[in-house]
Structure 1
Amino acid sequence: MAMSAVARDTVFALRRQIAKIEGTLPERLEAPAGGTPSAIPGKVRSGFPSGIAEKQIADGPDVTIVRRGLAVASPDAFLHTGIERLDTALGGGLPKAALSEIHGLETRDAGTVAGFALSLASLILKQKQGLPVLWIGTAEIFREAGFPYASGLHALFGIEPEQLLFSEAPKLLDALWIAEEAARMTAFAAVILEIRGSPRLLDLTATRRLHARAQAAGRPVLLLRQAGEAEPTAAPVRLIVSAAPAASRKTLAGPLAGSIGRPAFTVDIGKSRTALPGQFTLEWNPDEHAFAERTENSVAVVPVPLRGADPAAASGAVLAFPPVASPAVISPTTGDQPSRQQRPAHRSPRRAG
Structure 2
Amino acid sequence: MAMTAVARDTVFALRRQIAKIEGTLPERLEAPAGASLDTHVPHNTDLTFVRRGLAVVTPDAFLQTGAARLDGALSGGLPKSALNEIHGTETRDAGAVAGFALSLISLILKQGPRLPVLWVGTSEIFREAGFPYARGLHSLFGIEPEQLLFSEAPKLVDALWVAEEAARMTALAAVILEIRGNPQRLDLTATRRLHARAQAAGRPVFLLRQAAEPEPTAAPVRLILSPAPAAARETIAGPLAGSIGRPAFTITIGKSRTALPGQFTLEWNPDERSFEERWPQKEWTENSVPVVSASRRGKDPAAAAGAVLAFPAVGSPATGDEPSPGERAAHLSPRRTG
Contact 2:79 2:204 in 1 (8 A): yes
Structure 2 Cα separation of the partners of residues 80 and 41 of structure 1 = 23
1:282 corresponding residue in structure 2:
266
1:117 corresponding residue in structure 2:
101
Q: Could you list the per-position Cα deviations for residues 248-275 of structure 1 after superposition, in whole angstroms to 9, with x for gaps in the alignment?
A: 1111111112211100011111111111
Q: Could you list the per-position Cα deviations for residues 70-96 of structure 1 after superposition, in whole angstroms to 9, with x for gaps in the alignment?
A: 953111111111112111111111111
Q: Could you list the per-position Cα deviations for residues 117-141 of structure 1 after superposition, in whole angstroms to 9, with x for gaps in the alignment?
A: 0000001111333310100000000
Contact 2:117 2:174 in 1 (8 A): yes
Q: Normalized against structure 2, the TM-score is what?
A: 0.73
Contact 1:24 1:71 in 2 (8 A): no
Contact 1:183 1:221 in 2 (8 A): yes
Instruction: In structure 1, give the amino acid aligned to 2:169.
Output: M
Contact 1:195 1:226 in 2 (8 A): yes
2:331 corresponding residue in structure 1:
none
Q: Does 1:186 align with 2:170?
A: yes
- Aligned-residue sequence identity (percent) comes to 72
Contact 2:85 2:222 in 1 (8 A): yes
Q: Does 1:86 align with 2:42?
A: no
Contact 1:25 1:71 in 2 (8 A): no
Higher RCO (C-alpha under 8 Å, 6+ residues apart):
2
Unaligned runs of 5+ in 1: 1-18, 50-66, 304-308, 320-324, 340-353
Contact 1:70 1:274 in 2 (8 A): no
Q: 136, 149, 163: which one pairs with 2:133?
A: 149
Instruction: In structure 2, give the amino acid aligned to 1:224.
Output: L
- Computed over aligned residues only, the root mean square deviation of the Cα atoms, in angstroms, reads 3.9
Moved runs in structure 1, 4+ residues, more than 6 A? 38-42, 67-70
Structure having the higher helix fraction is 2
243 and 26 in structure 1: CA distance in 2 versus 1, 3 angstrom threshold: closer
Q: Which moved more, 1:250-259 or 1:191-200?
A: 250-259
Structure 2 Cα separation of the partners of residues 150 and 73 of structure 1 = 37
Aligned length: 288
Q: 107, 124, 129: which one pairs with 2:91?
A: 107
Contact 1:48 1:70 in 2 (8 A): no
Q: Could you list the per-position Cα deviations for residues 260-316 of structure 1 after superposition, in whole angstroms to 9, with x for gaps in the alignment?
A: 11000111111111111111110000111111111134258699xxxxx96976664
Structure 1 Cα separation of the partners of residues 233 and 26 of structure 2 = 50
Structure 2 Cα separation of the partners of residues 41 and 221 of structure 1 = 28
1:39 Cα deviation from its structure 2 partner:
8.6
Structure 2 Cα separation of the partners of residues 236 and 154 of structure 1 = 30
Q: Superposed, which structure 2 residues align to 1:1-353 within 5 Å?
A: 24=24, 72-297=56-281, 298-299=283-284, 316=300
